[in-house]
Structure 1
Amino acid sequence: MSINTAHAQGGVLIFAGERILIYYDGIELTFEGPASVTPLKGKKNGRVYLTTHRVIFNNKDGKDSLQSFSFPFLLMREVELEQPIFGSNYIKGRILAEPYGNWQGEAKFKMFFTHGGAIEFGKAMLTAASLASRNRPPNPPPYSPPPTAGFYAAPPPAYEPPQNSFYSWVPYDTFPNAPPPQTVFMSEAPPPYPGVDPNLAYPSPSAPMMNGHDAKAQEAAASAYYDPSNQHNFYAPAAHAMAPPAYPNYSGPPPAYSEAEKKSN
């Protein structure tokens, strides 16, 4: 997880080749985390995006110290869907800090869906996480620092519903709206972790040396996997543990992201 690395010019900032699957405007987000991490304090209100690689929260309050929050699938733990008798349904879990994420440690989170849709969003998120886990390489490259420049307005394939049966698990009936085009920006950097598309290879950057905490965070992300038989949790086994379980077959991978489309805007 990283703080303030997934927003730009009042909108969301995604990686090259990353795709927004669900956009939802009506989230209350709270954290229980290290007391020293000021941006995690208090209730946050804003928008959430389910992408092919992670969950992104953007704050509506432009003055808050937390403007964006990135939840890579492989750094989530103990994810559960809650349906209280009174109040909004919500998703809760733990999230680990990722290398160069502007904080260290781990935090508990609760994501409240004030207009409904928590169950549908949560199921889609768990499916995306299982696919991303299946695509993790045995020897992922080192993390690179998040981009601070070199982004541009994302072309439509990055935020329009894909016309492909591979994405039949995305509940577009519940979440029919796409984010406004002028609010989606794309970095030139590729994602530093796997997504649902098996054709999107990991980058091979020449990254700077990591400190001990960042190295542990990368190891946790590299070894994480999702077990479909226990649908509310992600796991981070030891290096000698068994390989992740088999996953159901889908109708095929999504279409490769076109370099021509990428540069069309």
Structure 2
Amino acid sequence: MTTDSRLQPGERVLAEVKKVSFLLKSSCPTAPLQSSTEGSIILTNTKFELLWPPSGHLWLPLNCIRGVQVQQPIFGANYIDVAVQAPAGAGWEGPGNVTISFQSGGCIEFSRALVRLSQGHVPAPDNETADQDDSRTTPDDKKNK
């Protein structure tokens, strides 16, 4: 798991997926990520964050999520469409839609965790440390060890 200095007190990383591409569709011309970008995504107990090289990031609090749809095309990577409302002070306004494509797997697990969290089902804290060297980890991974 990633240790991130942007984490607030009490916030913890619950899932991380590398090798994803994402796009924010919004009618607001100042919205970031108007073209497809590759990077990684992190899910914490309070937000999800899109990260791209060299230092770009966009975070969205879980209370900004208005819906999550999983798409499983016959040809191509699974992806999720996340309907969001721009958070206050984000530099853009109004509703948007974040499309996240998972080139190396992890879409179903990540979307399940995102839906549970956006509905207020926050897992209890644990004292385990993640020592996995995988491109994706989810809360369910710890149960399977």
Whether these two folds match at TM > 0.5 is yes
- Cα distance in 1 between the residues matched to 2:16 and 2:62: 17
Q: 1:160 aligns with which of 92, 109, 129?
A: 129
Q: Contact conserved, 1:21 with 1:52, CA < 8 A, in 2?
A: yes
Does 1:68 pair with 2:61?
no
**1:86/1:52 Cα in 2 relative to 1: closer, same or farther (>3 Å)?**
same
- Cα distance in 1 between the residues matched to 2:49 and 2:9: 15
Q: Displacement of 1:93 after TM fit?
A: 2.2
- Tell me, what secondary structure is at the counterpart of 2:32? helix
**In the alignment, residue 50 of structure 2 is paired with which amino acid?**
F
- Cα distance in 2 between the residues matched to 1:46 and 1:117: 14
Q: 2:141 aligns with which of 164, 167, 172?
A: 172
Q: Displacement of 1:98 after TM fit?
A: 1.1
By percentage of residues, which structure has more strand? 2
Percent identity between the two aligned chains: 23
Does 1:30 pair with 2:19?
no
- Tell me, what secondary structure is at the counterpart of 2:6? strand
**1:27/1:127 Cα in 2 relative to 1: closer, same or farther (>3 Å)?**
same
- Cα distance in 2 between the residues matched to 1:18 and 1:36: 31
- Tell me, what secondary structure is at the counterpart of 1:15? coil
Given the two structures, how large is their TM-score scaled by the length of structure 1? 0.44
- Cα distance in 2 between the residues matched to 1:97 and 1:158: 33
Q: Displacement of 1:70 after TM fit?
A: 1.1
Q: Displacement of 1:40 after TM fit?
A: 2.6
Per-residue CA deviations over 1:95-149 (Å, capped at 9, x if unaligned) read: 111111222112111001110110011111111222359xxxxxxxxxxxxxxxx
Q: Displacement of 1:78 after TM fit?
A: 2.4
Paired residues, what number? 130
Does 1:47 pair with 2:40?
yes
**1:38/1:51 Cα in 2 relative to 1: closer, same or farther (>3 Å)?**
closer
Q: Which residue of 2 aligns with 1:242?
A: none
Q: 1:202-217 maps to which residues of 2 (within 5 A)?
A: none
Q: Contact conserved, 2:25 with 2:97, CA < 8 A, in 1?
A: yes
Q: Which residue of 1 aligns with 2:91?
A: 102
- Cα distance in 2 between the residues matched to 1:29 and 1:72: 17
Q: Displacement of 1:34 after TM fit?
A: 2.5
- Cα distance in 1 between the residues matched to 2:112 and 2:54: 28
Q: Which residue of 1 aligns with 2:8?
A: 15
Given the two structures, how large is their TM-score scaled by the length of structure 2? 0.77
Q: Which residue of 1 aligns with 2:82?
A: 93
**In the alignment, residue 17 of structure 1 is paired with which amino acid?**
G
- Tell me, what secondary structure is at the counterpart of 2:90? coil
**Runs of 4+ residues over 4 Å off in structure 1:** none
By percentage of residues, which structure has more helix? 1
- Tell me, what secondary structure is at the counterpart of 2:51? strand
Q: Displacement of 1:160 after TM fit?
A: 3.3
Q: Contact conserved, 2:40 with 2:52, CA < 8 A, in 1?
A: yes
Larger radius of gyration: 1
